[in-house]
A and B are shown apart, each in its own frame.
Chain A
Amino acid sequence: MLLRLAPWVLTSVLVMPLAAGLLMVILPAFGYLPVLGGETFHFDAWQALWQRPGLYRSILLSYASGLITTLASLSIVVLFLAASRGTWLDRGIRRLVSPLLAIPHAAVAFGLAFLIAPSGLFARWISPGLTGWERPPDLLIVNDPMGLALMAGLVLKEVPFLLLMCLAALPQLGPEKRVTLARSLGYSATIAWLKSVFPVLYPLIRLPVYAVIAYATSVVDMAMILGPTLPPTLSVSILSWFNDPDLDRRYMASAGAVLQLGVTLAALVTWWLGEQCVKRLSQGWLVNGARSSGSMVVAISGRVLLATSTLMAISAIGGLVIFSVAGFWRFPDALPGTFTLDHWQRILPSVTTPLLNTLSVGLAATLIAAVLVVATLENAVRHHLPVSRSQWLLYLPLIVPQVAFLFGLVVAAESISVRPQLALVVAAHLLFVAPYLYLSLSEAYRRLDPRWVQVAHSLGVGPWRAFWRIRLPLLLAPLLTACAVSLAVSIGQYLPTLLLGGGRVPTITTEAVAMASGGNRRLIAVLGLLQALLPFIGFSLALLVPRLVWAKRRNMRGVV
């Protein structure tokens, strides 16, 4: 049966290229890279790596920023959800958050850097009136050695992602019932949420949380813009070694990539250990009977934190919008001296092909991933398969540094005479799109009440008809959301598009990154906004379509 093959196809589509790519990192890390004359195995690359100045600091930065970012983002989301009572304010904040998912990481980073830099928007708004600054103060805010700016940038991007994942998982838990029950026992609403909903919610958003850790420990683009420079994070160092004109650096770069994998795994293990501790320690708290202590703090901090991070992100984007039409803009002027449409006029004529490429690659990769993932999940649900350990394989592409295995992937594709082309780019995107689609969809899929399909069967309806007529419609909203996430992931890919496409499949992102290397903020702003356009449309459709389709079905609203 075709369906039974789905998990195998999905796994091999992801794991085989990855294995080929990984092999091409691990071998050079131990000295084997015949094309550069390395034909024996040794540890020279590792020795060179350990002697890099600032290596330990780089490792610590990557490790710590990954964990702290995740903890902060998760806390903000959880506190907000605990505090949220569905008032217009809460709904308003929620609505503002989801479009932020569409903004590319690099654009958020640029925007944030411009917001908080000593010569940034904030400083401009209060200068010289409040500060007396005629020149920007010499303060190390962006690129600070502790990585605080980097972590702030990551939090701005990860909060919307985690919030979306939580909102997708919540309805199946019936949070209102749980909270109502606990409140009837005298618990305040926020504490009721924390004690009765969060413990059952966390297992459902665990994989997205792990994905955030993996991403935050290995992020490159944001770290280049916001992160420390002396030394930079490990991932940025690795990229610079891979890009070093001295090709012999590639041995050390490969060893660094293996090390990066280790750092990411270490962060994941640390988090997992933390989970176990919290589980033990919180047993007492969950049943200690305290009904409202800390309730006010949670209620206020939850809303304030989320609103702050949302407003920061929106101001960052606002900064981009201003820059995209700015003439020269001297400090401390609050607004540019002149406005111009030059930047848009220079970029727009050349973006049609890149936009079309972006769209076709993104849609193709998302569609293929959706078919494979849904088939895999349907197969698991039909045959009562438990969540298998092998699903961890699906997440491998998310925790292995891209720059490392993509080189190997190009070698692999060339070896079987597959030349750069659109299809190859789609295949490469699939590596990153499918895991995100899987992790966004699998919980909703598995947790859908099995009685819906059982009712259908008992009415004499077979598995396929039940799938099309019952399961898919009921899962329309989460499926569309997962597809929108995937589309955004595809649109954000730079290295896979460039390397596997041989540079022949220009997308809006390859244009944006190439332009970003030139550092013209105004053009970067234009391209960043254009880059956000397609994912923004995707997320909007994912929100609107279920609303329109189910306009007359009350119980389908909110069943995200």
Chain B
Amino acid sequence: MPNKRNSLSAIMTLGMLAFSLTATANPDPDDWQSVLEEAEGQTVYWNAWAGEERTNAYIEWVAQQVDERYGIELVHVKLGDTSEAVSRVLAEKQAGNDDAGSVDMIWINGENFAAMKENDLLFGPWADSLPNYPLTDPENTPAVRYDWTIPVDGLESPWSSSQVVFYYDTALVDEHPNNMPELLEWAAQNPGEFTYPQVPNFLGNAFITQAMLELSDDTRIFYQPMQAEDFDQATAPLWAFLDELHPHLWRAGRAFPSNSADLRSLMGDSEISIALSFSTTEASGAIANYELPDTVRSYVHDSGMIGNMSFMAIPYNAEHKAGAMVVANYLMSPEAQAEKQDPEIWGSNTVLSMEQLSAEERALFDGIDLGIATLPPSELGEVLGQPHPSWVDALAEAWQNRYVN
């Protein structure tokens, strides 16, 4: 919908004050038929991190599907960082563009979701009205309802589930550690052969969060908003652990890889022999991509590993909300989810609950070959939930104060 404003107000808005003079009716997800009708012919701009060629290829496949099925043109806006899309929405809101925003759908979770929700940048609720939503068994799956402990409230629809796993080169490591104290011991014996991405990178955050959860006797406190007076005591075991670990890290902890990709390159160059990832299929994928030797395997710690889900959100001012909802719904379909889980295609875990599927639909998932370095679901162990974002923020801040000088 074009946004009509007279030139006087245009000049006024140039500063910061902005008013939109028109408002458009938003689609009603409970009237799915009308959503489908409105969606037909729309062009949906899906802003999604594009650092993985297989992800991009999968999104391209989705674009073909929704074009054939719903007459929607899906455009992948390739991002280097999800916050770039958040910036765009924020700028549009600041300028008073409240109904013709250029971002229709964002691949998002955790802290970015928390920030957009808190600043009223999201449209909804809509996600729990999608026809495919019940397939995730929300009643029995808290991860669908809480994104990093933040209530989802129907503002985003589940897309992928992921879990932290370690991977190691069996040609270089005889026996992998099974918990954080063993990792410390191993690192001391093999100095310079382990590291983790620099905090506040999300994988770096995940590593120190994992360590904090593993090293604490009672983890319940971490799932509540953080109270400043609890912080020092609750995190003391973590700092003791990290202080002892760092001198044994790659480059003696004087430099850290900036993200999971850097970490993977170090592994590929044999600089390190144990690394970690937020994707259970990363190792298999990287072997197929020639990035890692085929002697690499995955493992998890005995007490379980941190996991979370990622979602689709629609900005409050998206121009093509109906189209975005139809795409989000299709992304949750058994067909699209099974395609996504195939490591040949991408290898990202489904959010669907197998109990909710028909036998036919389940068969789509059963036939998938997970790849040599991927653990089968039965061996992934317990999934530890993400603590409340306030804890992660405080951890990252404290890490910086302690190790950056």
A contact residues vs B (CB 8 Å cutoff): 20, 27, 32-36, 52-54, 57, 117-119, 135-136, 138-140, 143-145, 224, 228-231, 240, 242-247, 326-331, 338, 340, 342, 346-347, 350, 407, 410-417, 419-420, 494, 498-499, 502-504, 506, 510-511, 513-523
Contact = CB atoms under 8 A, between A and B. Distances in A.
A365 B81 CA distance: 26
Contact of A328 (B91, B112, B290): B290
Contacts of B16: 27, 32, 34, 411
Q: What are the 3 A-B residue pairs with the smallest beta carbon separation, nearest first?
A: A519-B261, A518-B51, A503-B77
Interface string B226-263: 00000000000000000000000011101110111110
Nearest to B255: A143
A520 B132 CA distance: 34
B292 A247 contact: no
A516 B400 CA distance: 25
B357 interface: no
A517 B81 contact: yes
Given A228-B255, A419-B102, A519-B259, A499 B87 contact: yes
A34 B11 CA distance: 18
B405 A54 contact: yes
A515 B51 contact: yes
B293 A328 contact: yes
28 contacts: A35-B93, A135-B172, A228-B255, A230-B404, A246-B111, A246-B393, A331-B269, A350-B56, A414-B92, A414-B95, A415-B13, A415-B14, A417-B10, A499-B84, A502-B77, A502-B103, A503-B79, A514-B79, A514-B80, A515-B53, A517-B80, A517-B81, A518-B51, A518-B52, A518-B261, A519-B260, A519-B264, A523-B53
Given A118-B271, A230-B405, A503-B45, A242 B52 contact: no
B204 to A, nearest CB: 11
Interface string B8-50: 0011011010100000000000000000000000000101011
B216 interface: no
B94 A34 contact: yes
Contacts of A347: 53
Given A53-B401, A138-B251, A229-B258, A35 B270 contact: no
Given A326-B290, A520-B289, A346 B53 contact: yes
Contact of B254 (A140, A327, A494, A517): A140
A521 B250 CA distance: 20
B114 interface: yes
A327 B293 CA distance: 10
B291 A247 contact: no
A119 B269 contact: yes
A520 B269 contact: no
Chain B CB count within 10 A is highest, among A144, A499, A502, for A502
A514 to B, nearest CB: 4
B90 interface: yes
A145 B255 CA distance: 8
Given A53-B400, A331-B270, A516 B80 contact: yes
Contacts of B64: none
A243 B404 contact: no
Given A247-B119, A514-B51, 11 more contacts: A53-B404, A138-B251, A231-B405, A245-B114, A246-B111, A331-B269, A410-B88, A412-B14, A503-B79, A519-B260, A520-B52
B71 interface: no
B203 to A, nearest CB: 12
Given A230-B255, A245-B112, A503 B260 contact: no
A33 B96 CA distance: 13
A504 B77 CA distance: 7
A519 B262 contact: yes
A518 B88 contact: no
A502 B102 contact: yes
Nearest to B80: A517
Contacts of A346: 53, 57
Nearest to A524: B261
Nearest to A332: B270
B13 A416 contact: yes
A328 B80 contact: no
Contact of B110 (A27, A242, A245, A415): A245
Nearest to B77: A503
B14 A410 contact: no
Contacts of B294: 328
Contacts of A504: 45, 75, 77, 102
A57 B18 CA distance: 40
Contacts of A414: 91-92, 94-97
A117 B255 CA distance: 13
Contacts of B91: 407, 410-411, 414, 499
B83 interface: yes
Nearest to B18: A415
Chain B CB count within 10 A is highest, among A32, A410, A516, for A410
A20 B95 CA distance: 12
A411 B400 contact: no
Contacts of B260: 519
Contact of B90 (A35, A412, A506): A35
Chain A CB count within 10 A is highest, among B53, B60, B191, B293, for B53
B221 interface: no
Contacts of A517: 49-51, 80-81, 259, 261
A20 B103 CA distance: 23
A138 B191 CA distance: 9
B90 A247 contact: yes
A521 B80 CA distance: 15
Contacts of B5: 417
Nearest to B95: A414
Contacts of B219: none
B50 A514 contact: yes
Contacts of B115: 245-247
B86 A247 contact: yes
A401 to B, nearest CB: 14
Contact of A229 (B50, B88, B114, B256): B256
B192 interface: yes
Contacts of B52: 518, 520
B100 interface: yes
B132 to A, nearest CB: 27
B200 interface: yes
A230 B56 CA distance: 32
Contacts of B97: 414, 417
A520 to B, nearest CB: 6
Contact of B95 (A136, A245, A415): A415
A212 B94 CA distance: 34
A518 B256 CA distance: 17
A243 B81 contact: yes
B200 A53 contact: no
A237 to B, nearest CB: 10
A516 B78 contact: no
Contacts of B61: none
B405 A57 contact: yes
A230 B254 contact: yes
B96 A415 contact: yes
B265 interface: yes
A513 B250 CA distance: 27
B378 to A, nearest CB: 29
Nearest to B9: A415
Given A242-B83, A245-B111, A330 B251 contact: no
A244 B83 contact: yes
A326 B291 CA distance: 9
B58 interface: no
Contacts of A522: 289-291
A330 B295 CA distance: 12
Contacts of A498: 79, 84
Nearest to A506: B78
A145 B92 CA distance: 39
A514 B78 contact: yes
A35 B97 CA distance: 12
Nearest to B116: A247
A112 to B, nearest CB: 14
